[in-house]
A and B are shown apart, each in its own frame.
Chain A
Amino acid sequence: MMVTLDDLKTPKTNTWCPGCGNFGILMAFKKALIELGLERENAVLVSGIGCHGKMVNYVNINGFHGIHGRVLPAAQGIKLANPDLTVVGFAGDADQYNEGWGHFVHAIRNNIDMTLIVHDNMVLGLTTGQATSTSQQGFKSKSTPFGVIPPMLNPIAHALVSNGSFVARGFSGDMFHLKNLMVEAIKHRGFAYIDVFQPCVSFNYLNTYDWFSQRVYKLEEEGHDVTDRKKALEKALEWGDRIPIGIFYNKERPTYHDNLPHVKDAPLTKVLTKNVDITSALKEMM
């Protein structure tokens, strides 16, 4: 049965600020689900803490709203337990790149077949406006009234050098393009990661819709080779008047499960009713 926008609606009233960049991500995700024809029961949305975390309230599929920074370990645990599920993690920039940074590179290395979408508004929104690691140098916020001191983090470059098999960037102001990225990411066999520029209309006065719109250009329109990691890295380092969006890199490599042939046909969630025979392990103790 094909899923419709109506099926994906929830009774929860949306509490994001009017004009929030999250709306574009939400709609792109719903449209991607519809296009992929996924059954609601077989898809799991995992979110962390922050404005993005409310995604779980706004999409009527399985949901796990975890704690700050820990989207990836929870999502990987879900996928390891049941590889038949389509698992999509949503995190914020502070959630993933500050609190959860350690999990980011390791999840990319693991290459478990799932998707991570980071709502990157370059500011902490739900805590009312502090800097994050993707805030631009000099960005003034409540926690950095004299401007952010260190340079901003480059998560795309980090993902590429961590051996990411699918690395992309989208812009919530271009919902159709973002939807296409999500479709590709979810279809990708392995860990797919999309950083999404998402203007925060309340607390980021610098990186606005206009700011992004004037700068972003699409990699696919300039003939970028997505199988060339070196080139991708060059593109990842572009920042300034022109900022690339689209797929930086997309090349499958063996997934974590490819190395676990013993659980391929036996999901860990299979309900057991009898004790597992441990006679051979006991014999080792004699």
Chain B
Amino acid sequence: MIVNKISLLVGGEAGAGITRSGFLFAKTCLRGGLYVFGANDYQSLIRGGHNFYTVRAEAEMVYSQADTIDLLIALNKETILLHKDELVSGAGIIYDGDQIKVTKEELARGDISFYPVPLAKIVKELEGPQIMENTVALGAAIALLDYDLELLDSVLRDTFGSETAELNIEAAKRGHSYTQEQHKGSFGYRLKKTASAGKKRIFLTGNEAIGLGALNAGCKLYAAYPMTPATSILHFLAPLDREYKMVVIQTESEIAAVNMVVGASYAGARAMTATSGGGFCLMTEGLGMAGMTETSPVIVLVQRPGPSTGLPTYSAQGDLRFAIHASQGEFPRVVIAPGNVEECFCMTIEAFNLAEKFQIPALIVSDKYLAESNGTSEPFDQNRIGIDRGNLITEYTGTEEYRRHKFTENGVSPRALPGTKGAIVRTNADEHNELGYTTEDPTLATRMADKRFMKLDALNKELENIETVKFYGPEDADATILAWGSTKGPIRDAMKFLGKEGIKVNYLQIVYLCPFPAAKVQKLLQSAKKTIIVENNQTSQLSSLIREHLLTTVDHQILKYDGRPFNPEALAQSIKGVL
């Protein structure tokens, strides 16, 4: 009997409520005190096709999805056939036996238990909508796992309006009773409430965490054009605009979004936009304008595989170099890559602070896997990072004319906002003088370019006190993994697997990619016996950054660029393969 360790997959056609039901199961586990990771896999279509959502729930922290499936909820037969080889020995399948006929022979294995439940019949009895079949299946899953049905009820109550909730609770109850009667005690996995049940942990996606970070940081304007997988930030913030007294606006294009955000930033509002690679292509000119006008937009780039439209609903890390170099000319910027939901939250706040403090654009680089997977976290500390709006002057008392681009010791000019008494605030995408008037003077042009890059020195100094890299695992290890962004989850789980086999690896997560924390990385790499890069792209862009900044090459690269994230056990095997 395996207790409090389950990997469940819900699969079916698009439009069948797959993500929703997976999410409901995940939250039911969360409320019983388990750590949960939920990941969705869907195609670029609205109906049909094959979608699935995986939930991994354990008593100890889980960082990523599991490689295998213990319990499969199949809302169509295709789901069974597509995932049969991922099932562990002793796995179970919940499906509607009236509608799906499946045999052991078809699966070509005899170690799987079938749990047919009349999903459609039960929904019909209740006169509910077809989509409710998945709730019946959830009730069945709770019964098989001998888990607490009331936890599911509470989740249903909080998710749906009262009438719909009651109908769903009844549906779950009937699925539960049927399964108890027909299949009681036959499944080898159990879930039990743990000591931390009722602990208010949070379960959220990377995009939601970025949205929360923006709210907490006082972001007052969010402008965006829908693009998967960045859209859910827009969906998250739009209904909250009234409560947080902000403006959320869907613009006519990404070009409009970035220019609007830069305009708002010039006017003095904290402003953000988000997009994926294609939209970011359109934003590059506006990004450069932010560099030139010394404004402070925060831009979230949620990567998906390219080039071009690529795999629109899948994940990749192919835009790292693009983010670092996007737009013509040279100007300082900050590029931050969070690796889990908590980092998404914290680093969004940091991005706003750094952008305003150094009057530069800040980029947060995420990807579909991080953006749309749900992770468990303790509730975020709302006051840990604070708000730092930099050298912002609300009153100008100087005797000479206010100079928006004044030369200073660290390159950062005192920032007045338009509307400030006594200050005329002028900025310019053309090269300009301190007052913001256009100039073509070679000496002034050099001086202004130098001024902008002086801010980079100041920024680098500031970053010494920020966790620009993170280090995990034993100091003395056989190998050091180097990675950035969303690979963090699978890497940390892979390290657990390797640890159990007595293989010691440590992991250096590079959080700030630009400016590159060369000194910190170099120091940590000095004792590395062997270096392995793990990255979701084809050319290992992190390797090239390391070569550029440290004049050294890494020993091995484990690269995956099929749009899917690393699975932790498979990754552990790959790491073993190069040791």
Q: Which residues of B contact A278 (CB under 8 A)?
A: 212, 215-216, 380, 382
Nearest Cβ on chain A to B192's Cβ, whole angstroms: 20
Q: How far is the CA of A49 from the CA of B244 in the complex (A)?
A: 36
Q: Are B223 and A274 in contact (CB under 8 A)?
A: no
Q: Which residues B155-212 have CB closer than 8 A to chain A?
A: 200-204, 208, 212
Interface string of B404-433 (1 = CB under 8 A from A): 000000000000011111111111111010
Interface string of B242-265 (1 = CB under 8 A from A): 111111010111011111111111
Known contacts A74-B260, A85-B419; A67 and B429 CB within 8 A of each other: yes
Nearest Cβ on chain A to B503's Cβ, whole angstroms: 35
Which listed residue (A269, A274, A281) contacts B387, Cβ 8 A? A274
Q: Which residues A77-121 have CB closer than 8 A to chain B?
A: 77-78, 80-82, 84-85, 102-103, 106
Q: Which residues of A contact B78 (CB under 8 A)?
A: none
Which listed residue (B203, B268, B379, B423) contacts A82, Cβ 8 A? B268
Q: Which residues B326-379 have CB closer than 8 A to chain A?
A: 349, 379
Nearest Cβ on chain B to A10's Cβ, whole angstroms: 7
Q: Are B268 and A67 in contact (CB under 8 A)?
A: no
Most buried by B among A65, A81, A106: A81
Q: Which residues of B contact A159 (CB under 8 A)?
A: none
Q: Which residues A57-75 have CB closer than 8 A to chain B?
A: 57, 60-67, 70, 72-75
Which listed residue (B244, B256, B430) contacts A65, Cβ 8 A? B430
Q: Which residues B517-575 have CB closer than 8 A to chain A?
A: none
B132 at the interface (CB under 8 A from A): no
Q: A41-B424, A268-B267 are in contact. List 4 more A-B contacts (CB 8 A).
A: A62-B425, A80-B260, A103-B252, A269-B268
Q: Which residues of B contact A78 (CB under 8 A)?
A: 263-264, 266-267, 418
Q: Are B427 and A64 in contact (CB under 8 A)?
A: yes
Q: Are B202 and A82 in contact (CB under 8 A)?
A: no
Q: How far is the CA of A62 from the CA of B263 in the complex (A)?
A: 13
Q: How far is the CA of A82 from the CA of B293 in the complex (A)?
A: 18
B218 at the interface (CB under 8 A from A): yes
Most buried by A among B244, B253, B266: B266
Known contacts A276-B217, A278-B382; A12 and B438 CB within 8 A of each other: yes
Known contacts A40-B424, A78-B418, A278-B212; A64 and B247 CB within 8 A of each other: no
Q: How far is the CA of A56 from the CA of B424 in the complex (A)?
A: 12
B312 at the interface (CB under 8 A from A): no
- For this complex, 22 residue pairs linking A to B, each with C-beta atoms less than 8 Å apart, are A12-B437, A57-B438, A64-B263, A66-B262, A73-B263, A77-B259, A80-B221, A80-B269, A102-B256, A103-B255, A106-B251, A268-B264, A268-B271, A269-B419, A271-B268, A271-B392, A275-B382, A275-B387, A276-B218, A277-B382, A282-B379, A282-B380
Known contacts A80-B264, A276-B218; A106 and B392 CB within 8 A of each other: no
Nearest Cβ on chain B to A226's Cβ, whole angstroms: 28
Q: Are B244 and A84 in contact (CB under 8 A)?
A: no
The chain A residue sitting closest to B236, CB to CB, is: A281
Q: Are B438 and A70 in contact (CB under 8 A)?
A: no
Most buried by B among A275, A285, A286: A285
The chain A residue sitting closest to B396, CB to CB, is: A41
Closest 3 CB pairs of A and B: A77-B263, A268-B220, A269-B268
B436 at the interface (CB under 8 A from A): yes
B100 at the interface (CB under 8 A from A): no
Known contacts A44-B418, A81-B271, A285-B204; A268 and B247 CB within 8 A of each other: yes
B286 at the interface (CB under 8 A from A): yes
Nearest Cβ on chain B to A265's Cβ, whole angstroms: 9
A42 at the interface (CB under 8 A from B): yes
Most buried by A among B241, B289, B421, B422: B289
Q: How far is the CA of A106 from the CA of B250 in the complex (A)?
A: 11
A167 at the interface (CB under 8 A from B): no
Q: How far is the CA of A46 from the CA of B251 in the complex (A)?
A: 19
Q: How far is the CA of A78 from the CA of B266 in the complex (A)?
A: 7
A11 at the interface (CB under 8 A from B): yes
Q: How far is the CA of A275 from the CA of B381 in the complex (A)?
A: 10
The chain B residue sitting closest to A69, CB to CB, is: B255
Q: Are A82 and B247 in contact (CB under 8 A)?
A: no
Q: Which residues of A contact B474 (CB under 8 A)?
A: none
Q: Which residues of A contact B437 (CB under 8 A)?
A: 10-12, 56-57
A172 at the interface (CB under 8 A from B): no
Q: How far is the CA of A46 from the CA of B429 in the complex (A)?
A: 11
A135 at the interface (CB under 8 A from B): no
Q: Which residues of A contact B417 (CB under 8 A)?
A: 82, 269
Q: How far is the CA of A72 from the CA of B251 in the complex (A)?
A: 11
Q: Are B202 and A67 in contact (CB under 8 A)?
A: no
Q: Which residues of B contact A272 (CB under 8 A)?
A: 218, 270, 387, 389
Known contacts A81-B220, A278-B212; A268 and B201 CB within 8 A of each other: no
The chain A residue sitting closest to B240, CB to CB, is: A281
Which listed residue (B31, B201, B255, B267) contacts A81, Cβ 8 A? B267
Q: Are B426 and A62 in contact (CB under 8 A)?
A: yes
Which listed residue (A61, A65, A66) contacts B438, Cβ 8 A? A65
A5 at the interface (CB under 8 A from B): no
Q: Are A262 and B241 in contact (CB under 8 A)?
A: yes
Nearest Cβ on chain A to B99's Cβ, whole angstroms: 35
Q: Which residues of A contact B245 (CB under 8 A)?
A: 262-263, 266
Q: How far is the CA of A85 from the CA of B264 in the complex (A)?
A: 12
The chain B residue sitting closest to A104, CB to CB, is: B252
B130 at the interface (CB under 8 A from A): no
Q: Are A65 and B428 in contact (CB under 8 A)?
A: yes
Q: Are A102 and B438 in contact (CB under 8 A)?
A: no
Q: Are B212 and A41 in contact (CB under 8 A)?
A: no
A76 at the interface (CB under 8 A from B): yes
Known contacts A63-B436, A67-B286; A73 and B251 CB within 8 A of each other: yes
Q: Are A262 and B242 in contact (CB under 8 A)?
A: yes
Q: Which residues of A contact B215 (CB under 8 A)?
A: 276, 278, 281
Q: How far is the CA of A11 from the CA of B436 in the complex (A)?
A: 12
Q: How far is the CA of A276 from the CA of B383 in the complex (A)?
A: 9
Q: Which residues B420-472 have CB closer than 8 A to chain A?
A: 420-430, 432, 436-438
Q: Are B246 and A268 in contact (CB under 8 A)?
A: yes
Q: Are B428 and A63 in contact (CB under 8 A)?
A: yes
Q: How far is the CA of A44 from the CA of B430 in the complex (A)?
A: 17
Q: Which residues of B contact A77 (CB under 8 A)?
A: 221, 223, 259-267, 271
Q: Which residues of A contact B420 (CB under 8 A)?
A: 41
Q: How far is the CA of A12 from the CA of B421 in the complex (A)?
A: 23
Nearest Cβ on chain A to B512's Cβ, whole angstroms: 22
Q: Which residues of B contact A82 (CB under 8 A)?
A: 267-269, 417-419
B394 at the interface (CB under 8 A from A): yes
Q: How far is the CA of A106 from the CA of B387 in the complex (A)?
A: 34
Nearest Cβ on chain B to A274's Cβ, whole angstroms: 6
Q: Are B247 and A263 in contact (CB under 8 A)?
A: yes
A158 at the interface (CB under 8 A from B): no
A279 at the interface (CB under 8 A from B): yes
Q: Are A54 and B438 in contact (CB under 8 A)?
A: yes
Q: How far is the CA of A266 from the CA of B247 in the complex (A)?
A: 11
Q: Are A81 and B268 in contact (CB under 8 A)?
A: yes
Q: Are A285 and B208 in contact (CB under 8 A)?
A: yes
